[in-house]
Amino acid sequence: DAGVIQSPRHEVTEMGQEVTLRCKPISGHDYLFWYRQTMMRGLELLIYFNNNVPIDDSGMPEDRFSAKMPNASFSTLKIQPSEPRDSAVYFCASSLGTFKETQYFGPGTRLLVL
């Protein structure tokens, strides 16, 4: 299995630009999670989906952030407009069903907003 796939791996953009991060979960996994990691705040859960439906988006920092999962094999996290404080590593993770199953992380997208 290829594991969770994220793209791009690195993104450098200017303040005000739109940023789209992409994730392909492990085939068959029905939960998908988006996390953000910074030195200051550590790992934070932004949003998660079950069977393509957003379940909890309470971690999304503000309206500039949005996430979609149009099908079981693809999700996007969009930031519009981006700001320097959005600079972080964004991880996507997926898991198979119940809470007894662990989450598997993608390699992350390192975002730098200038």
Residue ranges that bind other proteins, judged by CB under 8 A: 31, 33, 42-45, 48, 50, 55-56, 91, 95, 98-100, 102-108
Q: Compare residues 81 and 107 and give the one whose CB is closer to other proteins.
A: 107
Q: Compare residues 62 and 99 and give the one whose CB is closer to other proteins.
A: 99
From the CB of 43, what's the least distance to other proteins, in Å? Answer: 4
Cβ proximity of 98 and 81 under 8 Å = no
Q: Quick one: CA torsion of 88, 108, 37, 47, rounded to 10 degrees?
A: 110
Q: Compare residues 41 and 62 and give the one whose CB is closer to other proteins.
A: 41
